Amino acid sequence: MKKRELDLLEAVFAKEIDGGVYQTKSQLAKRLEKEGYLQKVTLNLGRDRFGFIEVTGYVLTVLGNATYCMSERCNVEDGY
């Protein structure tokens, strides 16, 4: 994979660890979704007086997670 693709997978991975979804409108994210590395999801965060609060963004698929964790970026010795 190219450096910018791994950068995006790393950012999505970090966002998932924080308990959220990675929000972007980039063409790279759309392409990686089409290739099966990312999945677009919608989270329901509750309700307020205006209605439901929904957040749409990307999470890693099993293929994306495996690709990122098998790369040199995901080093077990660093604590990840």
Quick one: tokens of 20? Answer: 């959220």
What are the pLDDT digits (tens) for 35-73? 999 999 998 888 989 889 899 999 999 999 999 989 887
3-78 classified as CATH 1.10.10: yes
Which run of H or of E encompasses 25?
A: none
The amino acid at residue 45 is L
Instruction: For residues 5-15, give the mean pLDDT.
Output: 94
Tell the residue number behind the tokens 């439901």, with chain if given: 52
Q: How distant is the alpha carbon of residue 13 from its chain centre?
A: 5
pTM of the model: 0.84
Residue 41 CB neighbours (<10 A)? 11
Quick one: tokens of 50? Answer: 């205006």
Strand 38-48 versus strand 51-60 pairing type: antiparallel
